[in-house]
Structure 1
Amino acid sequence: MSRGKAASALDLPRPDTLDAGKQQGAYEALRAAILNRQLPAGSRLPSTRSLAERWRVSRGTLETAYERLQEEGYVQRIAGSGTRVCAVIPEHFIAAPRPHHMPRRPVQPDRPYADVQSHVPFVARRPDAGLFDMKAWARCLSRGLLAAGPGALEASHPAGVPELRTQIADYLRRHRGMHCEADEVIVTTGIRHALDLIARTLLNPGDTACVEDPGYPPARRLFELAGAGVQAVPVSADGLDTTQLPDVARLVYVTPAHQAPLGMTLSVSRRLALLDWAARAQAWVVEDDYDSEYNYQSAPLAALKALDSGDRVIYCGSFNKNLFPGLRVGFMVVPKALRRSLLRTLHLTGHSVGASDQLGLVELLGSGAFVRHLRASRQAYLARRDTLLECLGGHGSVTGQQAGLHFVLWLPTGTEEADFCARAASVGLTLQPLGAFCHEARLPPAVIIGYTALTLAQIRYHGRALAALCQ
């Protein structure tokens, strides 16, 4: 490309969003320019000094915006070469209608591993219920019930208590970057309940359902129970390999925030490619926002659903991994075309969430206590992760430790996972082999290490035993 022909952020007018918040406004303006291909892949951004002069903001503000774009995979910054766009935007995504601001709609009442234990080293995917303030929860339950009155216990809301759906939608808008409304939310008992509803509603015998490989075993089993043929799609360093998706499929299940179990984040380019594939195949994308609240190095990417201009993503979340496992409250954000059929399935199965827990969560979310709990637990889990990594002292390679409730410990070449887990069991350690999450994938030997439900004392004691096994 000849000099002067490449798109430049200097060609962009000063965005109005800068007046509301300079760092966020600059980030959103540059991100939008990339997604709209005003700044196409390979184009070079100006220096932060030049753009700061044009947009009349500080250079530090733009440095922060550039760093965030780099962390999220939109741009690449190379010393001596400047900053260039690296996200690949599919043509179909550019042509799709963009989300636009809509006035808030009032919510109308709707009408017609059981063996996994906490505090066992190093069982994965378990939160520490001891970090949750049960006295505060009791007060939330009491206030929620008293505020709602006896009528709330008699009313039937198949999609969930309207006040809770309002709080969930507000949380997702503020913290997961999603454009959603309360009437798009359906309350469930958790991720597996959501997957079961999706499988019962969308899948017919002979349909193809795609899952990550390695991936979350219950998703495969639930899709198979619905009679679907399940296709394993390999995972690479950038997450699900979208080039391996079939031309025809009914749905694909993904864990983009912290891939289960490998722990990588689905890159921006692959997120856009996945949405492009879903639009072309007329398929649904089931997003399990697994571990998104626990990122220890930087702010997490917005949800995949935040990019879903075609309304093809069914977003699934859960409070069970954030508060305590026995809560059994989760939720889905459902495309408009599927809402009626999913509610019909939910009503038929009768598997809805009790009103008292929902009303308690209304108080917990509305008071800000939920976000405060997330901050406190994130700090506690970070300290536990760092302590365990220090105990390992470089014995074995570790990946996926930047976020979530577990990481992957890769074993020496030639190690048999079953033998390693048996030796670990002899010294009181319960490990999950990576092979148990694989269907067709053949990966080097590794085990999944959970640390969040352990005390620091437990981690130090058992961490030394784990390190000794790796020597």
Structure 2
Amino acid sequence: MSRGKAASDLDLPRPDTLDAGKQQGAYEALREAILARQLPAGSRLPSTRSLAERWQVSRGTLEAAFDRLHSEGYVQRVAGSGTRVCAVIPEQFIAAPVARQNQRRPVEPDLPHAGVQSHVPFVARRPDASLFDLKTWARCLSRGLLAAGPGVLEAAHPGGLPALRELIADYLRRYRGMQCEADEVIVTTGIRHGLDLIARTLLQPGDTACVEDPGYTPARRLFGLAGARVQAIAVTTEGLDTDQLPEHARLAYVSPAHQAPLGVTLSVSRRLALLDWANRADAWVVEDDYDSEYNYNSAPLAALKSLDSNNRVLYCGSFNKNLFPGLRVGFMVVPKILRSPLLRTLQLTGHSVGATDQLGLVEFLGSGAFVRHLRASRQAYQARRDALLACLPEGVTVSGQQAGLHFVLWLPAGVQEADFCDRAANAGLSLQPLGKFCVDVTLPPAVIIGYTALTLAQIRFHGRALAQLL
């Protein structure tokens, strides 16, 4: 008998996989032999020297394959005893065919929701992102990051970067008539984020939360998710009917500058009545100021918060409606007594805004680019509004066209909203029926018309189609 290691009696023919890649091919061939129990548990593999001669590959290639099998737990290598199979393979795994190449399934495209796409006539409340100067924004992002350094990126500011909060407060003092400071500002991802924080923090199950009717549907749903009893308050030509507000409510939500969706402005008398009610009822008022920057006929009224001498108003604003929807940066101005509990909720939910976008906004606001963008977009939106109104036939009634990103088109007598929207869809138009936003009130048939995310050419083309439907 010859001295040394006994030769393995297992016949491992040269695999075809070696032609594609020797090291990977050797590994796959040995692994398949183990999984198929061609090399059963406890059996000894051929030596790398003998297998290298049989497969006509270098010994180093096989050493690398053996090492990989050892690291993955398929074999055990003991000096003086050779390499033995140590993996015990479950029956259900052995029964499954071993694929040489994993087949990847096709990825389903993740498309934006069809109801909120820009450049679809006439989807409402969408800004035109093409008006936004991306080169200026890129420079602001770069300057902001370079000026900040790693310290700002590492620091935790759940309420937002101090520099950004100071600039937001300065803008609101100058353009919305509010007397506020940076320590009253909380940076959010948008108005809905702010409403969610307010609902989670201020509302308890069974509390009454008042909303406008017709009104902003997400506000009603968010308050309901918090366990509140949501009470719809009718909106008239002067805005929210403050006479209907109950004395026991916890809060009231309003969009006073350009009511969503009717587009009316809350009158001064009703603003004062609303604040008086909040003070008497020890309630809070949530002001949604989503598109107040766009007033085409005159200077807009100052924010409701500017009249808030008793600190009952929580003001919600957003950069997503006047810069571009994908930015996801908004803000709240809150009474100081509520700042700490709101920040605790924000930290618990983990929805703080990323530092990069905040640093870019610091540069964008500080350089005056934000105000310049508002001025240019306001002129563009006014031109689009005028072009669309010119397309409509005489005698058609519209409202809310004096400001904002949409107006209401009241349908002729006898025309049903659902039927009109179906015929519009067949003509390539996406319209929202007014009834979709109503809870208890019943209003004449009307549809919401958004025009700001369309070019002038699109407005003229689709405006003629809308006029034909009318």
Normalised TM-score (structure 2): 0.76
**SS at 1:246's partner residue?**
coil
Counterpart of 1:24? none
**What is the correspondence of 1:399-418 to structure 2 with a 5 Å cutoff?**
399-418=399-418
Q: Output the CA distance in 2 between the equivalents of 1:131 and 1:362.
A: 20
Given that residues 395 and 467 in structure 1 are in contact (C-alpha distance below 8 angstroms), is that contact kept between their aligned partners in structure 2? no
Counterpart of 1:362? 362
Q: Output the CA distance in 2 between the equivalents of 1:226 and 1:395.
A: 45
**SS at 2:298's partner residue?**
coil
Counterpart of 1:60? none
Amino acid paired to 1:431: L
Q: Output the CA distance in 2 between the equivalents of 1:205 and 1:133.
A: 45
Given that residues 191 and 290 in structure 2 are in contact (C-alpha distance below 8 angstroms), is that contact kept between their aligned partners in structure 1? no
**What is the correspondence of 1:192-341 to structure 2 with a 5 Å cutoff?**
192-341=192-341
Q: Output the CA distance in 2 between the equivalents of 1:425 and 1:122.
A: 10
Counterpart of 1:445? 445
Q: Output the CA distance in 2 between the equivalents of 1:395 and 1:439.
A: 29
**What is the correspondence of 1:425-440 to structure 2 with a 5 Å cutoff?**
425-440=425-440
Shift of residue 426, structure 1, vs aligned partner: 0.5
Given that residues 259 and 290 in structure 1 are in contact (C-alpha distance below 8 angstroms), is that contact kept between their aligned partners in structure 2? no
Q: Output the CA distance in 1 between the equivalents of 2:369 and 2:395.
A: 39
**What is the correspondence of 1:343-382 to structure 2 with a 5 Å cutoff?**
343-382=343-382
Q: Output the CA distance in 2 between the equivalents of 1:281 and 1:171.
A: 31
1:379-432 Cα distance to aligned partner (Å, 9 max, x none):
000000000000013252100000000000000122110100000000100000
**What is the correspondence of 1:161-176 to structure 2 with a 5 Å cutoff?**
161-176=161-176
**What is the correspondence of 1:78-97 to structure 2 with a 5 Å cutoff?**
none
Q: Root-mean-square deviation (CA), in Å?
A: 0.8
Amino acid paired to 1:262: L
Q: Output the CA distance in 2 between the equivalents of 1:369 and 1:286.
A: 29
Identity of aligned residues (%): 81
Segment of structure 1 superposing worse, 253-262 or 387-396: 387-396
Amino acid paired to 1:368: G
Shift of residue 337, structure 1, vs aligned partner: 1.3
Given that residues 287 and 315 in structure 2 are in contact (C-alpha distance below 8 angstroms), is that contact kept between their aligned partners in structure 1? yes
Q: Output the CA distance in 2 between the equivalents of 1:431 and 1:401.
A: 16
**What is the correspondence of 1:26-37 to structure 2 with a 5 Å cutoff?**
none
Shift of residue 363, structure 1, vs aligned partner: 0.4
Unpaired stretches in structure 2, ≥5 consecutive residues? 1-111
Given that residues 317 and 332 in structure 2 are in contact (C-alpha distance below 8 angstroms), is that contact kept between their aligned partners in structure 1? yes
Q: Output the CA distance in 2 between the equivalents of 1:246 and 1:358.
A: 40
**SS at 2:323's partner residue?**
coil
**SS at 1:383's partner residue?**
helix
1:100-158 Cα distance to aligned partner (Å, 9 max, x none):
xxxxxxxxxxxxx9541000000000000000000100000000011111111100001
Q: Output the CA distance in 2 between the equivalents of 1:231 and 1:444.
A: 22
Counterpart of 2:188? 188
The count of corresponding residues between Structure 1 and Structure 2 is: 358
**SS at 2:116's partner residue?**
coil
Counterpart of 1:140? 140
Amino acid paired to 1:410: W
**Runs of 4+ that moved beyond 6 A:** none
1:319-347 Cα distance to aligned partner (Å, 9 max, x none):
00000000000000010111110000001
Unpaired stretches in structure 1, ≥5 consecutive residues? 1-112
Q: Output the CA distance in 2 between the equivalents of 1:124 and 1:330.
A: 19
Q: Output the CA distance in 1 between the equivalents of 2:264 and 2:174.
A: 24
Q: Output the CA distance in 2 between the equivalents of 1:191 and 1:415.
A: 34
1:235-262 Cα distance to aligned partner (Å, 9 max, x none):
0000000001001100000000000000
1:194-220 Cα distance to aligned partner (Å, 9 max, x none):
000000000010000000000000000
**What is the correspondence of 1:28-47 to structure 2 with a 5 Å cutoff?**
none
Amino acid paired to 2:344: R
Given that residues 213 and 441 in structure 2 are in contact (C-alpha distance below 8 angstroms), is that contact kept between their aligned partners in structure 1? yes
The answer to whether structure 1 residue 131 and structure 2 residue 164 are counterparts is no
Counterpart of 2:67? none
1:283-316 Cα distance to aligned partner (Å, 9 max, x none):
0000001210000000000000000000000000
1:11-55 Cα distance to aligned partner (Å, 9 max, x none):
xxxxxxxxxxxxxxxxxxxxxxxxxxxxxxxxxxxxxxxxxxxxx
Q: Output the CA distance in 1 between the equivalents of 2:167 and 2:135.
A: 21
Amino acid paired to 1:133: D
Q: Output the CA distance in 1 between the equivalents of 2:156 and 2:337.
A: 23
Q: Output the CA distance in 2 between the equivalents of 1:203 and 1:285.
A: 13
